A and B are shown apart, each in its own frame.
Chain A
Amino acid sequence: MTGVPPKSNKSRSLLQRYAAAPHIVWSVLFIIVPLIFVAYYAFTDVSTGEFTFANIATFFTKDYLLIFGKSVKLAVIATVICLLLGYPIAYFMTTCKPKTQRILMILIMLPMWMNFLIRTYALMTLLQDTGIINTFLNSMGIDTIHIIGTEGAVVIGMVYDYLPYMILPIYSVMSKMDKSYVEAASDLGCNGFGVLRKVIFPLSLSGVISGITMVFVPSISTFYISQKLGGVDTLLIGDVIEQHYTAANYNMTASLSFVLMMILIVGLAIVNHYTDSDEGGGMLI
């Protein structure tokens, strides 16, 4: 047919060829090599420095499995709540005027600029038995709700800290979505819910997946939130890793990190695989 030009980028310029080189070197030095160190420490003995499986095996004792189970449970709950809260808001945002959309974006990103330690601390003041919420409830004649010190408080902290990470990727995917699909679907007789289920949701799936990742990973590994908002029995896997670090037991620190990493890699690989997302499918913003 028409003379389609042969793919001329076979002859890449020197710049194109080597532009990624510094990044490759950097990645190997500061991403791959450190992880090898983690693996090395994970499989060596504390005192003798010999090869051992003992550190890894510790993870699979009852105590640690319980801690890990609790971390997974809380992180999953937090992620689900973030999704339930964040998805509608991302959707509603796309229905606003462009100017309003921009202002909303700014407002949702703004809390991320504040230090999260401080935000968590302020959240504590808010949720206490004598805090603002409970004082308000009491003045309305409702009994005090104990929030601080429960697993619920930790979940609230995770949701609060990481909700923007859920909203932004979903919004960014949705705002690029072609609105004519929606119109076509309703023209073809789809009702409101059908449009959402059959058209909007599948199209925004890559955003949802990256949102879930961005919320789940920090939630499962947090230690500050559980320390500040948690109670007597909310020890999470992140806390344990941090405890071993401060006790200067690097082999245990490394082995717990290693196993956690393996589990997450496998989990995320599965998720990524089934969503078929092209590299960097749904990124933040």
Chain B
Amino acid sequence: MKRFSKFYIGLILFLLFAPILVMIFFSFNEGKSTAVFTGFSLRWYVELFKNGEILNALKNSLILAVCSSIIATVLGTAAALGIHHMKNKYVRQPLMTVTNIPIMNPEIITGISMMFLFVFVGGMLGLTTKLNFWTMLIAHVTFSLPYVILNVLPKFKQMPKALPEAAMDLGCTPLQSFFKVQLPAIMPGVVTGLIMSFTLSLDDFVISYFTSGTDFQTLPILIYSMTKKSVKPTIYALSTIVFVLILVLLLISNRERSTYERLEAKKIKAEKKRKDAIKQAKKSKQVSETDKIKKVRTSTNRGLPSHIKSAIALVCALAIIITFCVVLSVFSEKTVVLNVYNWGEYISDGSEGSLDVNTAFEDYYYQTYGTRVKVNYVTYTSNEDLYAKLSTGAVSYDIIVPSDYMIARLASEGLLQKLDFENIPNYEECITDDFRGLYYDPNNEYSVPYTYGMVGVIYDANVVDEEDTGDWDLLWNPKYSGNILQFNNARDAFGTSFYRLGLNVNTTDKQAWNSGLEELQKQKPLLKKLVMDEIFNMMESGEASIASYYAGDYLTMVDNQAANVDLQFYYPENTNLFVDEMCIPTCAQNKELAEEYINFMLSEEPAIANAEYICYASPNSLVYNNETYKEDMGEDAIEVLYPENFDFSEKYDSNCYKDLDTETKEYLNSLWEKFKTGVATDEEEQEEQPIWPALIVFVAAIVVVTVMIIVIQKKKIKRSKIS
């Protein structure tokens, strides 16, 4: 039995730690991939300390975690004290229920509900930035509070009732009695609560996702926004460092604790020995006075256990460091801040010897105008994500980089400002007619192109036969069943089936959408998985062999592919084209500076750095005509990104995504849900009417349960009265 239990504990621990070991392993990868190991190197650790974005997010996470856990601990301890002494059952019971809500409620609901509140209140107060550091702080305090209370309350209960009274009888004021007598007694609970709320806050993603604003991006949010492009081993390197740090800290505190215990044991032994000695001595003579005093001292010398002391010291130290950081940054940052909201991994960030574009802009601006600016760079996952943040009016950005159809939508809803091209002289010079007057911005008022590209088909030539390639049929080819990937978002997935059928991707005809769904359902049994960023790992490692994705990302995959994988690429006849453009939203605080930034992004050096980093095609003539750029990218890559004899403007108009009207969008969403849940389309008659009976049953069930609970409660009260 003993051996089995040891084996079992070992097994579970192994399972818990296996993914962490994988993470540590891949943090030492030489290549960019988190799935294909190419060799040992420390480069990602070096990159990490050069990466301002990640370090900044880490700093933010720490600040938030320290602030929120301290506030929650103070509030929670006070609350526990109050609740413990509460006499009125009808206040106490509901209060406990309310306290427990954030634990019982799914995080997603807590997050959404708080977002509603902040946006509403912010709207009433007329704030431009409704979600910021303070809203996140409030959210984090709210969800950590119950954990503090639940940890502290039992300690109050365990405390002898007479203790505070004794203290007061001996002349303590209530406040003194609390700090001198009660607080030490409940300290273990307080420390546990503090540590738990710190952990929860540091790791929280879901609630932060809904309540975070522009100026403050925490680490989990940053990681999530990396999901359009691939997650890089830098994050693994950071996690490894954090892991090792925590492990060491915990082990040290544990060792201290066991040394403390050993000392304690020694003390007890010594005490015993002395007692024996005293006993013997008693036989002969009286106990000496000094011994008595010593005895009293040793028996009362029972302060906090040292591990708790060290934990407190640790947290205090951390708090001091971070407060210092905050104070420092508050005082030093008397500069103008430019808020840039861009896709994840969508700017040259200084890694691997590339140009750090944002820092370069800060330097350039300082040299030209003598003022310090600070670029606050925040990232998002999708156009819809961006829209969700902008449309609540919860945030204020100076620069955003939406795609074409989103620009149309934002412009039509009045969320974009007209640009002053006087301030963007580079535009005339380097943006050709191809990228002017496109449908979403016919008069060239709102946007300056950043990147563009096309969706193509990527396949593994070691698996796929050459003759099967060339068009969309490859993604429907039963020969490669279980080897095909499809987009995990409605618009792009339907897009592939529409291009295959030769339909208009912007149609409002429901019949067309239905036939698109039919196509997708035919494809479904052949699919391995629906993917976004996972595509990088899966294609690079040979996990899947066929997928459609953006040309630029294909180039990234080729760089990281495993030895037994040979990725190839082609454009089918009809395929999606997109342009991502820089815009200034109406909520921008600093329009002129934003225009300066846009102008800087168009100039040669930053534009080339970005193009090489992102790997997408650049609409900037200074880039695609540059010889060094062509050389750096290689001939094959240039061919993929800028196919010859390709008339952009002609293809663009018929194949790009346009903004769909609300009804079509809703319909598309419902079809997508249908596709994912697997309800066949031929059962259409059944799905029109909402199932009212179910609703009635649901309401009835609630009523019945409530009545039952009340009845049982009453019976119980009766029973307890009888007994």
**Residues in A lying within 8 Å of B, measured CB to CB:** 8-10, 12-24, 26-28, 30-35, 37-38, 41, 56-58, 60-67, 70, 85, 88-89, 92-93, 95, 99, 102-104, 106-108, 110-119, 121-126, 128-132, 146, 148-149, 160, 163-164, 213-214, 217-218, 220-221, 223-224, 227-228, 231-235, 238, 240-250, 253-254, 257, 260-262, 264-266, 268-270, 273, 279-280, 283-285
Contact = CB atoms under 8 A, between A and B. Distances in A.
Interface string B140-160: 011001010111011000000
Interface stretch (B383-391, B496-504, B580-588): B383-391
10 contacts: A16-B82, A34-B113, A63-B670, A113-B203, A122-B20, A123-B19, A125-B35, A132-B22, A233-B677, A261-B105
B161 A9 contact: yes
Contacts of A110: 17, 243, 246-247, 250
B223 A106 contact: no
B708 to A, nearest CB: 9
B388 A233 contact: no
B690 A57 contact: yes
A74 to B, nearest CB: 13
Contact of A163 (B16, B22, B149): B16
A237 to B, nearest CB: 9
Contact of A269 (B98, B139, B527, B709): B709
A283 B150 contact: yes
B196 A285 contact: yes
Given A220-B106, A245-B388, A19 B81 contact: yes
List the 4 shortest-distance A-B pairs measured between CB atoms, nearest first: A20-B82, A221-B106, A23-B79, A34-B113
B673 to A, nearest CB: 5
B46 interface: no
Task: State the main secondary structure of chain B at its contact with A.
Answer: helix
Interface string B532-545: 10100110011100
Contacts of B665: 247
Interface in B26-52: 26, 34-35
Given A56-B695, A246-B385, A66 B8 contact: no
A97 B538 CA distance: 45
Contacts of A238: 106, 108
B174 A16 contact: yes
Contact of B154 (A60, A88, A283): A283
A229 B250 CA distance: 31
B318 interface: no
A270 B109 CA distance: 21
Contacts of A89: 8-9, 12
Given A27-B99, A124-B537, A264 B203 contact: no
Given A20-B79, A113-B203, A247-B669, 5 more contacts: A15-B174, A57-B692, A106-B251, A217-B105, A280-B154
Contacts of B104: 213, 217, 264-265, 268
Given A34-B116, A89-B8, A221-B106, A62 B20 contact: no
Contacts of A15: 81, 174-175, 178
B120 interface: yes
Contacts of A88: 5, 8
Interface residues of B, number: 137
A109 to B, nearest CB: 8
Contact of B138 (A30, A213, A243, A249): A30
B9 A93 contact: yes
Q: Which of A213, A257, A269 has the most CB of B within 10 A?
A: A257
B464 to A, nearest CB: 17
A67 B673 contact: yes
B170 interface: no
A60 B690 contact: yes
A8 B163 CA distance: 12
B299 interface: no
A282 B391 CA distance: 42
A284 B154 CA distance: 12
A45 to B, nearest CB: 13
A268 B104 CA distance: 8
Contacts of B392: 248
Contacts of B219: 115
Nearest to B239: A118
A58 B78 CA distance: 44
Contacts of B165: 8
Contacts of A233: 524, 676-678
A232 B524 contact: yes
Given A60-B698, A232-B524, A21 B96 contact: no
B317 interface: no
Given A254-B116, A260-B109, A266-B701, A273 B12 contact: no
B450 interface: no
Given A21-B82, A102-B254, A117-B223, A149 B199 contact: no
B488 interface: yes
B687 interface: yes
A115 B224 CA distance: 11
Nearest to A89: B12
B85 A16 contact: yes
Nearest to A33: B117
Interface in B201-250: 202-203, 205-206, 210, 219-220, 223-224, 231, 235-236, 239, 242-243, 246-247, 250
